Amino acid sequence: MPPRAARRSLLAHAIARNIGLVLVIFLLVFSIFLYGLIYGLTEGRLPGGFELTSTVNNTMPLVLAAMAQTLVVLTRGLDLSVGGVVDLANALGAISLGATPARMALASAFILLAGAGLGLVNGILVAYGRLQPILVTLATLSIYQGLAIRILPQPGGAVPEGYTALLTNPSVPAALLYVVLLGLFWTAFRRSQAGIAIIAIGNDEGAAAANGINPLRAKLLAYTLSGFFAAAAGLFLVATATAGDATTGNGYTLTSIVAVVLGGVSLFGGRGSAIGAMLGAFVTTMIVNILFFAHIDPLYQSFYEGAFLVIAVVLAEGLGRFVRKRR
Amino acid sequence: MSAAPSLEAITASKAYGGVQALDNASFSALPGEVHALVGENGAGKSTLIKVLGGRVRPDSGTIRIDGAKVVHGGPNDAHLLGCWTVFQELTLLPWMSVAENLLLRREPRNALGLTSPRRLVAAAGRVLEKFGITEIDPRALIEDLPLAARQVIEIVRALSHEPRILLLDEPTSALMERETAWLFAQIRRLRATGTTIVFTSHRWHEVETIADRITVFRGGRDVGSFTTLAEEEAVTLMTGQRVETFYPPLPAAPSARADAMLSVADLAGGRLAGVSFTLHQGEILGVGGLAGHGHRELFLMLFGAERPHAGRILLRGREVRLRSPRGAIRNGIALVPEDRKTEGLLLPLSVRDNLTLAVLDRLSRFGVIGRAAERAQAARLMARLAVRAPNAAIPVGTLSGGNQQKVLLGRWLLADCPILLFYDVTRGVDVATKHEIYELMMELARSGSAILFYSSDALELAHLAHRVLVLREGRIAAELPALDLTAEQIVAAAMRERLAA
Amino acid sequence: MRGAGSLDETWRRALYAFAAAVLLFALGAVVRPGFVRPDSILAVLTVAVFVGLVAAGQTFVILIGGIDLSVPWVLNAAAILLATSSGGSDARAFSALLLTLGMGAAVGAVNGLGIAFLGVPAVVMTLAMNGIMEGLTLGLSGGMTCASCASYAPPAIQALAHGVFLFLPTALWLWLAVIAIVSFILGATVFGRATYAIGTNLRASELAGLRVRATIIGLYALSGLAAALAGIMLVGFGGQASLGMGEPFLFQSIAAVVIGGASILGGRGHYLGSVAGAICLVALISVLLAMNMAEYGRSIIYGVIILVLLLLYGRESRES
């Protein structure tokens, strides 16, 4: 049994360990509050079910991209090809999703597998090629984007209504269910052998190997899953847009990094939770919403987003240091 | 010696780049035997342990366990044969908890194969309890633990696998007496059950205390195995030469009227809870005590690398605020830090670059480095300290531990700092270099430098310091004069509180 | 670690990059015989100047294990600032030049401040700065609708980008000067030595008494300065500024530095390597264009070639 002094600091332990998560929850609550306030002032009523549904729907691609990015960042890598995989899945979705449910399911499964395969390529290059992740994915980003444009040179294609309704129904917050499922997936994954191995190699690859963990296998898995989730993001994107575009996914490389950072996942690997990163994705969307309803000149949008990112990270850093000192 | 060896290495070789770390080395240990591996740094002890434990594959040679030839594909293969290792550079995962580390890859799992934090902590608590560790919280992150506690966790993890063969690489270098005693009790218990234990240590009294047999390594080879061996003989074997008097004579203590170089008043911050003392010109002031009682903070604060919460620092009677190491150096203070590989040297850079790093401003004009002056200065220092390196342009990381430490000392000699902070300056340094460092310290003290000297080796303090301050719980627990000072007195002062409790 | 020393290794990698560039020109000659005529080689090299200038800044920050993702919009802002503040007149060209370079250095210094003093990871700080500069550029120029936004670069600047001096384009002369200056800074000064030291081990550099924070800020300021210079040259080359003109330079500049043999983890690399990397990239694009390759094909082959080069000599040494 731990001695008394240690037990009293249980809460401090929990907070210190999950400081990133605590902060992103705080940020999310604060941004929702601000959003509600500004929305109320400008629209004369509080945001309701429609706003909730559309917010969640619009954020889903980023939520999935953030999940994809988290898995790689936890291994101490960075996946710049996320945007390329999103593009590719987007393009494939636009040309292959047919009218029948069976065709849609088949095409979706194929696209998800293709995404996993692209992730695996990254993983093989990083693990067996002994190349820096940021460089590998910089190169594969270019390749994947090229492939996406080859598949869908001009925006177009058609996404069946049923597909859109299933993934991003504008009147029912079905996407909330997906978010919850992703959260459950992460919780289970974090407690599985595979999840522990990925976190362990992000902590210290050499030490993990000395403990009998196979770093190559852990990396392959992390990158493969990353490709899978990035492809899922592409499918959600094409469903929301109801038509394909092989370039709209580009932005997800950088925004997924933003979500991961806001979510308290350490860019140095081994620390953080995908749940934090998913909440970080929602914070990002809320900021865009706030700026929109505050009638900020959209030209300045990037300015505020950038400034907010720096402030949030500095705040997290300061708070983390404060909690550490207090203990 | 009737029993068959349980663990053998036969003519094992391993080279790293151009350096032959193991050179046709052979070794064997019996069941129920505590076998000490001794040798200078770079003698091949750590490499042998890594080879035996499956961490490193030998270039040639055979490993046998219980007489059967084995080829380790990785640590897992060794683990399956009941062979577990405590590595010198710990293999704990810093941002995971004690519990996660202890039970890595054997977490308690439910039907779905998933673990839960609660069960993990409970199971880890039981493991810790089993080995008599009560003061470490299984929920704590490794990163937040002092080095000694991390070492204990690394040891407990290996012990908890109930090894048939236990390899311990310098397990005591971060431990103080009490933890060492705990480890030895564990070793004795395992020995009684027939476990083979191999361990390395730089502290001779530990080897004498616990080892049944001693194998000496030199230059990547085994040079002899003994059941009894006197320290002098061991040193001779390890160095290949006879070392006459180990500790050089201490210069006369400075008189009470000698100039006060550095005074500290009520300095506090971190684990340091208020410390006052004065360091005089020509004095070697020892600092002793258990790890984690504020030594590190004290040294970092005096070097401007950490900010004190309270207290004053006076240089020659004038109060100063040290805001950065750079400021401290400008005030004539130098620090040889705890870990020369991560805090001291820039391993991939050349010996010359490392030597001149602190004096670049002096060697340059308008920010441009004077190449000729730099070469000359580096060559001078390498000659003075007898740094054994092929040339000044090779990466300092390719040198042996002792020569690396000389380069680091050379940097501060070049900087001409009269106040020298030496934090465990002989740690992980071979016997011959230790001797050279001792001589250098005496020479520096004679020429008027003031040295603040922390050592984890109480014997060293007893022989090399004019006075010794013993820190306990961030305060000075005792100030012991040099005359007839023994290591036991230092240790007793450091532990008084615990013994009373 | 090999006894031969990591510096030699790095030079060797830079040499490989030069060899790769020569090989690409040879390949170009096969595809289209006119590709290796002096004037077309000079044309390729002139285009490489822009990537090369940005890569100078990127080299500085990558040497300390950092990265500058704010390059695209610092470059873009610089191009617009030069055009608008000079109003296209030579009389105001010099002051506009100073203003623009000062802006680049200042923005870079802010990056450095955030990284060195606030502890923001370089990826996050410079990514955010890119957004900040994008927002400011778009907002202040009203989305390039402002009255002076259509201004041309002053003729003097255009001449600098297009002119010829002693048989070589002036842009190349400028690049040669930048190469000399950057190599001198990195190779012969205290600042350069500190850069390599910090990239190798920040904590040890601090404990050796180096000016770690000032150096970091200086390096990011230099990166901002380099991006601004590239923006100036680009607006001089094209005449007018446009939105999004900086985007291609982010990944290209990073790729150039890495192909040139620098370690993305810091502590190892030379600007001459990055120069070779920049020439490689631009030669590659030119060859692909000469082959009438479609955009998607260029994108794919571009990625594949980078991977091949990385696999040839960009691999991390195996843990021993």
DSSP assignment of chain C, as one string? --TT-HHHHHHHHHHHHHHHHHHHHHHHHHH-GGGGSHHHHHHHHHHHHHHHHHHHHHHHHHTTT---TTHHHHHHHHHHHHHHHHTT-GGGHHHHHHHHHHHHHHHHHHHHHHHHTS---HHHHHHHHHHHHHHHHHHHTTTTTSGGGGPPPPHHHHHHHH-EETTEEHHHHHHHHHHHHHHHHHHHBHHHHHHHHHHH-HHHHHHTT--HHHHHHHHHHHHHHHHHHHHHHHHHHHSS--TTTTTHHHHHHHHHHHHTT--TTSS---HHHHHHHHHHHHHHHHHHHHTT--HHHHHHHHHHHHHHHHHHH-PPPPP-
Q: How many domains does chain A have?
A: 1
Nearest-by-Cβ selection for B93 from A13, A188, A208: A208
Nearest-by-Cβ selection for A131 from C132, C254, C315: C315
Instruction: Say how far apart CA B153 and CA B94 lie, in whole Å.
Output: 12
Q: Is A270 touching B (CB cutoff 8 A)?
A: yes
Torsion from C-alpha of A157, A161, A163, A165, nearest 10 degrees: 140
Is B74–A212 a contact, with Cβ atoms under 8 angstroms apart? yes
Nearest-by-Cβ selection for A309 from C124, C142, C314: C124
pLDDT-based confidence at A2, cuts 50/70/90? very low
pLDDT-based confidence at A37, cuts 50/70/90? very high
Report pLDDT for C245: 92
Q: Which CATH number fits domain B7-239: 3.40.605.10, 3.40.50.720, 3.40.50.300, 3.30.420.40?
A: 3.40.50.300
CB proximity list for A172: less than 8 A, separation 6 or greater: A53
Show pLDDT as tens, one digit a residue, over chain B (501 residues).
457 899 999 999 998 765 688 999 999 999 999 999 988 766 889 899 999 999 899 999 999 998 888 888 888 899 999 999 999 888 999 999 999 999 999 999 998 889 999 999 999 999 999 999 998 999 999 988 888 899 999 999 999 999 999 999 989 877 878 899 999 999 999 999 999 999 998 778 888 899 999 999 988 899 999 998 887 788 778 766 544 457 888 888 887 777 889 999 999 988 899 999 999 999 999 998 776 688 889 999 999 999 999 999 999 989 999 999 999 999 999 999 988 888 999 999 999 999 999 999 999 999 999 999 999 999 999 999 988 888 898 889 888 778 899 999 999 999 999 999 999 888 767 778 888 899 999 999 999 999 999 987 777 888 889 999 988 888 898 888 876 666 667 766 765 544 433
Is A1–B125 a contact, with Cβ atoms under 8 angstroms apart? yes
Find residues 141-160 of chain C whose CB sits inside 8 Å of chain A: 142-143
Report pLDDT for A325: 63
Report pLDDT for B249: 82
Instruction: Choose from A67-81, A150-164, C84-98 the range with maximum mean pLDDT.
Output: A67-81
pLDDT-based confidence at A319, cuts 50/70/90? confident
- Using DSSP's 3-state secondary structure scheme, residue A66 falls into helix
Nearest-by-Cβ selection for C299 from A134, A145, A310: A145
Which position has the token pair 């290996």?
B158
CA distance A72 to chain B (A): 17
Sign of CA dihedral B226, B232, B235, B236: negative
Q: C213 - beta bridge partners? A: none
Instruction: Say how far apart CA C119 and CA A321 lie, in whole Å.
Output: 11
Q: Number of Cβ pairs closer than 8 Å across B and C?
A: 94
pLDDT-based confidence at A7, cuts 50/70/90? very low
CA of residue B277 relative to chain centroid, distance: 26
Using a 10 angstrom Cβ sphere, with 0-12 exposed, 13-18 middle and 19 or more buried, the burial of residue B50 is: buried
Residues of A in contact with B129 (CB under 8 A): 1
Report pLDDT for B52: 93
| Residue A251 in this model has a pLDDT that exceeds 90 | no
Report pLDDT for C1: 34
Instruction: Say how far apart CA A177 and CA C28 lie, in whole Å.
Output: 55
Q: Supply the mean pLDDT for chain C.
A: 89
Report pLDDT for C316: 67
CA of residue B64 relative to chain centroid, distance: 31
Q: Is A210 touching B (CB cutoff 8 A)?
A: yes
Report pLDDT for C219: 98
In this prediction, the answer to ipTM > 0.95 reads: no
Is B393–C5 a contact, with Cβ atoms under 8 angstroms apart? yes
Q: Are A157 and A244 in contact (CB under 8 A)?
A: yes
CA distance C254 to chain A (A): 9
Share of chain C above pLDDT 90, in %: 57
Using a 10 angstrom Cβ sphere, with 0-12 exposed, 13-18 middle and 19 or more buried, the burial of residue C280 is: buried
- For residue C312, the tally of other CB atoms under 10 A from its CB is 11
Q: Are A302 and C132 in contact (CB under 8 A)?
A: yes
Q: Where are the beta strands (DSSP E) in B149-235?
A: 165-168, 196-200, 213-218, 221-226
Bigger pLDDT: B402 vs A126: A126
Which position has the token pair 């035996």?
B52
What topology does CATH give the domain C6-313?
ABC transporter involved in vitamin B12 uptake, BtuC (1.10.3470)
Q: Which residue of A has its CA nearest to C296?
A: A146
Closest listed residue to residue A126, CA positions, set C310, C250, C66, C313: C310
Best A204, A266, A327 residue to mutate vs chain B (most B CBs within 10 Å): A204
Least confident of B80-89, C5-14, C236-245: C5-14
Q: Which two tokens stand for residue B157?
A: 């993890």
Is B115–A191 a contact, with Cβ atoms under 8 angstroms apart? yes
Report pLDDT for B498: 44
pLDDT-based confidence at C318, cuts 50/70/90? low
Residues of B in contact with C1 (CB under 8 A): 16-17, 347-348, 395, 397-398
Q: Are B313 and B261 in contact (CB under 8 A)?
A: no
List the CATH code of the domain at B259-332+418-433+452-501. 3.40.50.300
Average pLDDT over every residue of C97-115: 97
Residues of C in contact with A261 (CB under 8 A): 121, 123-124
pLDDT-based confidence at C238, cuts 50/70/90? confident
Interface of B with A (CB under 8 A): 55, 74-76, 79, 85, 87, 90-97, 100, 104-105, 107, 112-116, 125, 129, 134-135, 137-141, 144
Q: Is C136 touching A (CB cutoff 8 A)?
A: yes
Residue A307 forms part of a structural domain:
no
Nearest-by-Cβ selection for B348 from C203, C267, C320: C267
Residues spanned by the domain of A103: 57-295
Average pLDDT over every residue of C179-201: 96
Instruction: Say how far apart CA A170 and CA A167 lie, in whole Å.
Output: 9
Report pLDDT for B491: 65
Interface of A with C (CB under 8 A): 78, 125, 129-132, 134-136, 138-147, 149-150, 153, 205-206, 209, 254, 257-258, 261, 267, 297, 299-307, 309-310, 313-314, 317
Q: Is A103 touching B (CB cutoff 8 A)?
A: no
Q: Which residue of A has its CA nearest to B127?
A: A1
Q: Is B416 touching C (CB cutoff 8 A)?
A: no
Residue A187 forms part of a structural domain:
yes
* Annotated domain spans of chain B: 7-239, 259-332+418-433+452-501, 341-416
CA distance A189 to chain C (A): 27
| Angle, helices B177-192/B147-159, rounded to nearest 10 degrees | 10
Bigger pLDDT: C210 vs B484: C210
Q: Read off the DSSP letter of residue A156.
A: B
Nearest-by-Cβ selection for B113 from A192, A210, A213: A192
Residue A12 forms part of a structural domain:
no
